[in-house]
Chains A and B, each alone.
Chain A
Amino acid sequence: MGKWTRRAFITTGVLAGGAVVIGVAIRPGNRAGKVAPLIAGEDDTVFNVWVKISPDNTVTAIIPHAEMGQGVHTTLAMMLAEEMDADWNHVSMIEAPAHTEYANYALAKGYTAGDIDFPAFLVDTIDGIFLTATQMMSLQITGGSTSVPTTGQHAMRVAGAAAKAVLLQAAAESWNVPSEELTAKNSHIIHQDSGRRAPYADFARQAAELSQPVKPILKSPHEFTILGTDVQKFDVPAKVDGSASFGIDAQLPGMKYATVKASPVFGANVKSVDESSVQDMPGVRKVINLGTAVAIIADGYWQARQALVKIDVVFEESGNETVEQSDIFEQFTNDMDTAIANGDEIVDFETGDVNAAMASATRTVAAEYRVPYLSHATMEPMNCTAWVHDDICELWTGTQNPLGFAAEVADVLDMNLEDVVLHNQYLGGGFGRRAFPDYAIQAARLAAEVHYPVKLIWSREEDMRHDHYRQASISRFQAALDGAGKPTAWVNQYVEKHDPREAPYIPYGIDNQFIHFAESKTHVPWGFWRSVDHSLHAFFTESFIDELAFEAGQDPYQYRRDLLENTPRFQKVLDLAAEKSSWDTPLPENWGRGIAIHRSFGTIVAQVVEVEVTAGKVRPRRAICAVDAGFAMHPDGMKAQMESGIVYGLTAALYSDITIHRGAVAQSNFHDYPMLRMNESPDIETYIINSGEKIGGAGEPGTPAIAPALVNAIFNATGKRIRELPVKHYDLSSEGLESKDVA
């Protein structure tokens, strides 16, 4: 990936020689002028904050999102190039600088407004309001599977179309022909009648002086020539020869290495630290007390790590030293009971009259489910390199929120935001973890104490014990069934709600529903974890609907299908997954098949898992995934994200639990927080539906449905219903009723 230069950054306001900078398509007002020095080379023409053309006719997309394997650098460049009719072989990208002009106003707009289409006369005002608001919040986030639906749809495509419009206009003026007689193709303008053909670059300067349309006309999918194709991802070549630069790979002259140990019990302060216990160790430079953590700076990471293991640190008591995981679940249960007893349930969704439906039910069914805390466990442990010099602070790290990180560091170091320069690197996994700036703040504070660059690397143990965790939760259901086994009431009470709002909602046509929750705060830090609340609620709701199908004596696929008769888009996705799995065909002995469907981030995913359970050992053999995100911009990338989401979700469902013991996380590394490995991973098939509906996300929707599809398959294979994750705690080797070993 290309890079913007630090020189460019600190000379904001001075245009690079020859760069032409003009007003902007996306929002009236000269935003391009503020960023041109950051993104333009000597002779580049900047059209708006998202695109520039170089004299060699290369079109460069400026991507305001972090690459963490989801392919966003490629997909967003495709969206711009498509509308611009650019020659894909001469399209490149650079990641946008951490700058307020790249604050994700489109993201905020999508979230706060529910992604509604505004009337044209309101667009300017609304865009202005959201840009201002997101700038104030320093939001430049990659998360929520929003890059394509928001930045891609609202910024990249619009910017590409607007740039093409002014290029055509400039060519028409230059050749003195009506612009309707011109066509744009492969980064060239063509005048058929006169046989003239010239590269975009010939008209770039002139075009950039023209006023770009605020709402240019976008293509229909049938006109696409780049979107919907499987181009190779920009980042892959550098990731096969070791040259890709991740945060941990930053190298600076005179750089030293640091590592930290924070209080095992979250938030406790350092009471005392005995520096003399390590000061004679080789390579040790400095011991720094960060308040809630102790850091050691040394000539190498290993030396710092050895010293950190040895140093005597005593932490103060925070009051949480006796908390056990069982206490947390007990607290959840009590708070849920209390909420009902006091009548202060927080209503999430309510329709019909569940009490009346329950009273007149032929039969009622109840079940309770639990999920544990989860860690992200990105392959690259948290790290950040910081260098405070010449009244600025430079940071090299991988972050899902570069502007937010810079703002936090500026705040902590009492600097101006423009004096914190963040060089975002490839992320060795994000999954939500790298939206939290704790590690960058630590690195900046260390760098502020010394005169050399400091690379802070967390050990795997620190990474696992000081994550921001997916919440543990409990969900309790009651349902009423009529004489035909059809549900007439659906009551769901759960604990600990975060995001998104709609995660516990179901697509099924059930007339009476009451979904509510209780709050129950713990001392365990919370964080976005791939698909966020969807990761628990799909397990809850799609397990329970499976139980209802069983109680009704019906096939779990057909049972769901009947309840989706008024939501045909869901039904089609479900049908495709069932069809591709050959749902009705028999499986070998000890195998089972399970199905689940869930919508998240605007994308509907249905999955079927085939599992083998032999001698208690659970082995997912095959996973079939059907996905409707409206339109798959980069189909192979969509498939890769489904594969990734499935493995991520299966890992959690089978193995993962973070447990609290004496107030601290009990697990520490991959031996006690194991990952799904190649020999345990199923064959995965993904089938895409391009329904033409509103565009949804890809990075997260593959995860939620796989856990319920797995446990439903285990039920099908063994008759044992798993109601608490992870699966590894169940003894599935014995005959008879389910049993659970929680030792």
Chain B
Amino acid sequence: MITLHINGQTHELDVDPETPLLWVIREQAGLTGTKFGCGIAQCGACTVHLNGQPIRSCVTPVQAAASQQITTIEGIGRGDAGLHAVQRAWIDEQVPQCGYCQSGQIMAAVALLEQNPAPSDADIDAAMSGNICRCGTYSRIRRGIKRAATALAGSSGTEGPHNG
């Protein structure tokens, strides 16, 4: 049995310890907001936070995440009132198109802003270039991050229930 703490909830799961965390999150924990894109850490669609750090869950064996804090898109914020500043900025900038990569983009952006509340364009490039968007929403993602940074600066960074 492996113990996983996902979005503050504890799961005791009987899985092969080599199974990538992605599939355990999606199939055992039933949290489908985290996406499968490539399986080789090339696209970032599967990005989740492990102790607040963005990781590629498609290449992370579940045992490497055992007993640590895992945050998925579902743990970032939900519902009108509960949205994270990044999610709100994504709505304001109308970022998503097909939307499939956006969970991963948002997880990468949230992690960036936690470490760097006022990122430059170069900082954004460095943090976000591991995440592919096939619909080409990059310019809106960039605007969304800047908008969220401004919003967080105005509210001392405590918006939303994020605890990753």
Contact = CB atoms under 8 A, between A and B. Distances in A.
Bound pair: A and B?
A: yes
Interface of A: 68-71, 232-233, 235-246, 248-249, 251, 257, 282, 300-303, 377-381, 426-431, 457, 459-460, 636, 640, 643-648, 651, 669-671, 675-681, 683-684
Main secondary structure, interface of B, reads: loop
B45 interface: yes
A683 B30 CA distance: 38
Interface in B115-164: 124-126, 128-142
Given A236-B96, A242-B74, A644 B135 contact: yes
B90 to A, nearest CB: 5
Contacts of B69: none
B42 A68 contact: no
Contacts of A670: 38, 40, 42-43, 132
Contact of B140 (A282, A379, A430, A640): A640
Contacts of A68: 97-98
Nearest to A680: B129
A460 B39 contact: yes
Interface of B: 16, 19-20, 23, 27, 30-40, 42-43, 45, 72-74, 76-79, 83, 87, 90-91, 94-103, 106, 124-126, 128-142
B134 A640 contact: no
Contacts of B137: 640, 643-644
B19 A302 contact: yes
Given A236-B90, A636-B94, 7 more contacts: A236-B95, A243-B74, A427-B98, A429-B135, A651-B136, A678-B124, A678-B131
Contacts of A675: 43, 132, 134
A243 B20 CA distance: 22
B34 A242 contact: yes
A250 to B, nearest CB: 9
Nearest to B91: A236
Q: Which of B23, B36, B136 has the most CB of A within 10 A?
A: B136
Contacts of A378: 98, 100, 134
A457 B74 CA distance: 22
Given A236-B90, A429-B100, A675-B134, A681 B139 contact: yes
A232 to B, nearest CB: 6
The dominant DSSP class at the A interface is loop
Contacts of A237: 91
Contacts of A644: 97, 135-137
A669 B42 contact: yes
A282 B139 CA distance: 45
Contacts, number: 179
A570 B72 CA distance: 48
A233 B94 contact: yes
B131 A69 contact: no
A464 to B, nearest CB: 10
Contacts of A648: 134-136
A461 to B, nearest CB: 8
Contacts of B97: 68-71, 640, 644
B111 to A, nearest CB: 15
Contact of B129 (A636, A640, A679): A679
Nearest to B82: A241
A251 B32 contact: yes
B35 A428 contact: yes
A679 B125 contact: yes
Contacts of B125: 678-679
A239 B99 contact: yes
B125 to A, nearest CB: 4
B94 A240 contact: no
A699 B138 CA distance: 17
Contact of B36 (A241, A248, A681): A248
Contacts of A651: 136
B32 A249 contact: yes
Closest 9 CB pairs of A and B: A242-B33, A647-B136, A69-B97, A428-B100, A239-B99, A69-B98, A242-B73, A679-B125, A670-B42
